């Protein structure tokens, strides 16, 4: 593979959020939506690399039917250039059948490879500086067993695909963890195990076994309606020494991986064991020549390790936004601060009735930023909103 010196720039991304109204509930409507996605990509001279599709979940059978329709449409429409995609059981706001968060990669002299693993598509993007792997939907949500086995299955697939591409878990810089019924408590012989805590135990095991670096990816752990676990991730392998990936901290928040046992819900997985905290960084900065990206983890109304603004969605939203802003002002080796801008925001709202308040605040603070709003349980029962995103800077 040959690259010129002019190719040694960061890989630029942009995003578009599109919706499908309920009266378009047909394969034809989905195909028209996908056509809009591709048409937008052509207008910006970009190629689709990732689709995250959100849909409501009246019941499990209805969700699986809608997900199957959308999946078939993606394969039929994109044919030999199927992007990474996941169909997530989170209701989009305002009320629509589907919302699509579409990611596009732009730039000259990129090598883009469309690949498959276990019938799941993934993308490799390469230039002279980096090799990027984007995969969505690792796991087997159609074969739900229990939360532990589903999490193990998802992480095993992550490891498999990384090994296939000569990468390791050390290369993961951004991860999305979709955990079915994330707050549910399960009785295991008198010990009460929360689904999210079980997921964290499995994540801790795999990171210990397959990850040798001391820091962690940026990540989101969020609830979905359908049982099971799926994982989306981005792994980046530097091909030159001019690429750096560093964790970014918020001085007002304790790092999640050092949370005390008292804020971790439920019993330990075994007698006399300690509970694994969530292992992720508040943010992660990818610095390249010409273009840098700040991945903002799922962020909520937490100061130190305590929830702020219990039962007050307005306060929680404002504290969450302040936490995001503090991450974007962090001093860890940022390039020229004046060039930073938001590229994408995803907003999770726990209660449907809170959506208008959250949307109004977010649109006031982030005008013109592509945003998708969905209904989801956050990782703590007293958290009403969570926001994640991506910032970019040309330098």
pLDDT in tens, the chain (395 residues): 443 444 446 688 999 999 987 766 678 889 999 999 999 999 999 999 999 999 988 788 889 999 999 999 999 999 999 999 999 999 999 878 899 999 999 877 889 999 999 889 999 999 888 899 999 999 986 666 789 999 999 999 999 999 999 999 999 999 999 999 999 998 877 788 999 999 999 999 999 999 999 999 999 999 999 999 999 999 999 888 778 899 999 999 999 999 999 999 988 877 668 999 999 999 999 988 778 899 999 999 999 999 999 999 999 999 999 999 998 876 555 555 557 899 999 999 999 999 999 999 999 999 999 999 999 999 999 999 999 999 998 77
316: CB partners within 8 A, 6+ apart: 300, 301, 308, 309, 383, 384, 385
| Nearest partner of 320 among 311, 331, 329, 308, judged by Cα | 308
Tens-place pLDDT, residues 226-240: 999 999 999 999 888
Q: Are 120 and 160 in contact (CB under 8 A)?
A: no
Which of these, 137, 101, 54, 64, lies nearest to 374 by C-alpha position? 54
pLDDT of residue 4: 42
Quote the CA–CA distance of 207 and 260 in Å, as a whole number.
19
Neighbours of 143 (CB within 10 A): 10
| CA–CA–CA angle 18, 19, 20 (5° rounding) | 140
Task: Assess contact for 131 and 239: CB atoms under 8 A.
Answer: yes
Tokens of 35: 């056509």
SS3 content of the chain, % helix, strand, coil (to 5): 30, 35, 35
Sheet holding 91-93, edge to edge: 91-93, 371-375, 341-349, 385-394, 291-299, 283-287, 244-248
CA–CA separation, 192 and 185 (whole Å): 6
Positive or negative, the Cα torsion across 215, 217, 219, 224? negative
Distance, in Å, from the CA atom of 116 to the CA atom of 107, rounded to the nearest integer, reads 24
What is residue 267's predicted lDDT score, i.e. its pLDDT? Answer: 86
pLDDT at position 2 is: 42
The pLDDT assigned to 3 comes to: 39
In this prediction the pTM is 0.94
Query: Residue 270: its pLDDT value, please?
Result: 74
């Amino acid at each position: 593979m040959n690259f010129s010196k002019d190719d040694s720039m960061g890989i630029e991304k942009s995003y578009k959020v599109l919706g499908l109204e309920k009266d378009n509930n047909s394969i034809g409507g989905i195909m028209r939506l996908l056509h809009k996605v591709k048409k937008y990509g052509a207008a910006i001279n970009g190629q689709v690399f990732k689709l995250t599709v959100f849909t409501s979940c009246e019941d499990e059978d209805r969700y699986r039917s809608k997900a199957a329709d959308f999946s078939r449409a993606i394969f039929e429409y994109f044919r030999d250039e199927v992007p990474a995609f996941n169909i997530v059981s989170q209701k989009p706001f305002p009320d629509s059948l589907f919302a699509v968060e579409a990611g596009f990669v732009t730039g000259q002299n990129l090598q883009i490879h469309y690949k498959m693993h276990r019938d799941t598509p993934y993308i490799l993007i390469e230039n002279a500086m980096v090799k990027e792997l984007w995969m969505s939907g690792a796991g087997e949500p159609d074969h739900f067993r229990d939360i532990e086995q589903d999490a193990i299955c998802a992480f095993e697939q992550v490891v498999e695909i990384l090994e296939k591409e000569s990468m390791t878990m050390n290369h993961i810089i951004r991860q999305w963890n979709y955990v079915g019924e994330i707050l549910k408590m399960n009785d295991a012989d008198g010990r009460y195990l929360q689904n999210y805590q079980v997921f964290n135990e499995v994540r801790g095991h795999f990171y210990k076994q397959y990850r040798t670096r001391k820091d962690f990816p940026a990540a989101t752990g969020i609830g979905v309606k359908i049982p099971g676990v799926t994982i989306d991730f981005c792994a980046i392998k530097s091909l030159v020494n001019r690429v750096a990936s560093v964790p970014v901290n918020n001085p007002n928040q304790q790092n999640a991986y050092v949370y005390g046992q008292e804020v971790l819900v439920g019993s330990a997985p075994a007698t006399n064991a300690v509970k694994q905290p969530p292992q992720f960084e508040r943010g992660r900065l990818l610095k390249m020549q010409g273009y840098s990206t700040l991945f903002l983890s799922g962020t909520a109304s937490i100061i130190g390790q305590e929830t702020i603004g219990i039962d007050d969605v307005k306060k929680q939203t404002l504290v969450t936004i302040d936490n995001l802003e503090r991450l974007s002002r962090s001093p860890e080796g940022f390039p020229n601060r004046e060039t930073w801008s938001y590229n994408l925001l995803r907003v999770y709202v726990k209660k449907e009735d809170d959506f208008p308040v959250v949307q109004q605040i977010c649109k006031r603070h982030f005008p013109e930023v592509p945003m998708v709003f969905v209904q989801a349980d956050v990782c703590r029962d007293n958290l009403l909103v969570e926001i994640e995103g991506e910032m970019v800077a040309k330098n």
